[in-house]
Amino acid sequence: MSQTVDRARTDAGVHVDAWLATFQDALTARDAEAAAALFGADSFWRDLVAFTWNIKTVEGPAGVADMLRATLDTVDPTGFRVVEEPTEAGGVTDAWLEFETAVGRGSGHLRLKDGLAWTLLTTLDELKGHEEPTSDRRPRGAEHGAVRGRSTWLERREAEEAELGRTRQPYVVVVGGGQGGIALGARLRQLDVPTIIIDKHEKPGDAWRKRYKSLALHDPVWYDHLPYLDFPQNWPVFSTKDKIADWLQMYTTVMELNYWGSTTCTSARYDGERWEVVVERDGEEITLRPAQLVLATGVSGKPNVPSLPGRDQFAGDQHHSSAHPGPDAYKGRKAVVIGSNNSAHDICAALWEAGADVTMVQRSSTHIVRSDSLMDLGLGDLYSERALAAGVTTHKADTIFASLPYRIMHQFQKPVYDAIRERDADYYARLEKAGFELDYGDDDSGLFMKYLRRGSGYYIDVGASELVADGSIALARGAVRELTETEVVLVDGTRLEADLVVYATGYGSMNGWAADLISQEVADRVGKVWGLGSDTTKDPGPWEGEQRNMWKPTRQEALWFHGGNLHQSRYYSLYLALQLKARCENIPTPVYGLQEVHHTS
Ligand SMILES: Cc1cc2nc3c(=O)[nH]c(=O)nc-3n(C[C@H](O)[C@H](O)[C@H](O)COP(=O)(O)OP(=O)(O)OC[C@H]3O[C@@H](n4cnc5c(N)ncnc54)[C@H](O)[C@@H]3O)c2cc1C
């Protein structure tokens, strides 16, 4: 935790101190209405676990009062203070905060407008008495001196691996050891929560390794760090899939994770106290009995394959993009890629490079943004060398991002994409001339909002769009009606000859995993995973305020969902891990505002 610093007082600082003092007084007096009166009519308090044991945004004074009435007595917040001198720009005062609760220490961020709170973010950072063993608390490692019969670190690791899941049950089982499961596992290890991560692939990183060979991260290195261990300074800006896979494998080893590779979860059942998780490990059936079950099986992990008439008759190769082996076998052959988002573009470009004759089928409009423009205008202020030079560390960037309430985030995003459209006007014109149907999101708020709302509908252009614009990748427009033995036939009658059909048709909601592994009833009780309820395409309302079911309690006791991109996985794994740790230690965790379920998939 940082300390309050001596500083030259600014007007902004004096202003924030006065607000915080009044706020703290109201909290101490358990006067929810008085605290709520310090918030503007259009205001947002986003809480990550500190007050609500939930991930929750409340809106306006009424929302704040309701939340505080329900939580103040148990949370007992104290010591709200600034940790660096607040700043003021354009009528908004920004302040970085810390505070304590009855059980933990937290931090946050405040924006004041016209003397009232506009946005407040509060996050639980650690549990008192269960602090992570970092810095001054780091483990001693080798014990100096002479001790008869001592065991080595390796012997203790091997003993733990031998007993956990056999003679001693883990507290948490994480199904899915991709980047999400691994990051969460690292957090839980530091919090001393006995955990097993299982994955059907043999080695950590295989979820990346086994995909088509041209796959690479589209996000830049500054955005992608895992918890505790940043990429080194010579790490490439965009990792290729095998490099990120090796990093994940190394990370799993050095973070001492109990990772069961070649292990498939076949079913899970909750008896009210423990889960019965049946897994097949190298052909052996083992039943694990954890108290908590986390599905980290991939937010975009459950392939959507359209059931098209004629699929059985098609004589060539056909597979979902997630199973695409790469282009090597298709030189000189005809490939039809159904879909026009990230995977479709990546796969089309790789097939073209390998000398295939490629057609992309676009059914609906797609948002395209050039990688360079996105890095510069979209991410540059938060995640770049430029940001680091300006003092915006990864954690600070993550917190700034988290401090923007979803309800108004599109207002911050739209100007970014307006600027990108202006900068890349010629480029977009060329794409449209080639017949490509573009969009910029339902409200022109661009890529990140599409990602949060529906997790699809975009391509970060790392090269394929030029091939579409100049016709190297042929474009066909419309929905597919059927397949014949040799063709893909569109509803308008267009016939596309094909030796290969790739379904780059996206992924289903993560609760589909719960249906497969637990039951349809539990999947329906939990409801749709991901999305905000923005009432835009593929994100039906009503407004939820937070991403559905991610990193927070669900309507199924002891069932959690984790995942997202590397940034989300890094950031939210802490809050999920703290929720699990609190339960492991029997710390009361009264949940405020458990999400209602409006959609089952
Ligand atoms: C073209 C493209 C570009 C991308 N660029 C980026 C990027 O720049 N940044 C980024 O963060 N992401 C990127 N992604 C997305 C990335 O693939 C996913 O975000 C990421 O893999 C999600 O991680 P995860 O751990 O949640 O899930 P996954 O990596 O999908 O891992 C889930 C794991 O669960 C396992 N599993 C599932 N069911 C079971 C079961 N029953 N038993 C045992 N194991 C099971 C699977 O084997 C898998 O290893 C990109 C994807 C594509 C296609």
Model pLDDT for residues 152-181, shown as the tens digit of each residue:
999 999 999 999 999 999 999 999 999 999
Q: How much is the pLDDT for 1?
A: 43
Name residues of the chain where pLDDT drops below 50: 1-4
Cα distances from 368 to residues 429, 436, 458, 461, in angstroms, run: 12, 10, 6, 6
Residue with the smallest CA separation from ligand 1 atom 30 is 298
Separation between Cα atoms, residue 565 and residue 264, nearest integer Å? 23
Global pTM reads 0.96
- Angular region, 255: left φ>0, alpha ψ -120 to 50, beta rest: alpha
Q: Which fold has domain 11-127?
A: Nuclear Transport Factor 2; Chain: A, (3.10.450)
CA of 111 to the centre of ligand 1 (A): 35
- Dihedral sign of CA atoms 544, 546, 550, 554 in order: negative
pLDDT tens across 275-287, in order? 999 999 999 999 9
With CA atoms as reference, report the closest residue to 49 among 121, 134, 132: 121
Q: Supply the pLDDT for residue 77.
A: 98
Under DSSP, is residue 491 helix (H, G, I), strand (E, B) or coil? coil
The answer to whether the CB of 518 falls within 8 A of the CB of 268 is yes
Instruction: Write out pLDDT tens, residues 225-275.
Output: 999 999 999 999 999 999 999 999 999 999 999 999 999 999 999 999 999
Nearest ligand 1 atom to the CA of 207 is 49
Beta bridge partners of 356: none
Using CB distances shorter than 6 Å, the residues near ligand 1 are 175-181, 198-201, 207, 215, 217-219, 264-265, 296-301, 342-343, 346, 563, 565-566
Residue 98 CA, ligand 1 centroid: distance in Å: 34
Mutate to test the pocket of ligand 1, among 173, 202, 208, 217 (most ligand atoms within 8 A of CB): 217
pLDDT at 370 (0 to 100)? 97
Q: Within the chain, which residue ranges are assigned CATH 3.10.450.50? A: 11-127
Q: How many angstroms is it from 224 CA to the middle of ligand 1? A: 14
Amino acid at 263: T
Q: What is the pLDDT of residue 301?
A: 61
3-class secondary structure per residue, 562-590 = CCCCHHHHHHHHHHHHHHHHHHHCCCCCC
Residue among 201, 218, 242, 266 to mutate when testing ligand 1 (max atoms within 8 A of CB): 218
Q: Which CATH architecture has domain 311-503?
A: 3-Layer(bba) Sandwich (3.50)
- Cα–Cα separations (whole angstroms), residue 479 to 145, 351, 493, 588: 73, 22, 10, 52
In the CATH hierarchy, which top-level class contains the domain 158-302+508-584?
alpha beta
Neighbours of 380 (CB within 10 A): 16
User: Could you tell me if 257 and 250 are in contact, meaning their C-beta atoms sit under 8 angstroms apart?
Assistant: no
How high is the pLDDT of residue 438?
98
- Give span(s): CATH 3.50.50.60, the chain: 158-302+508-584, 311-503
Question: Which ligand 1 atom is at minimum distance from the Cα of 565?
Answer: 11
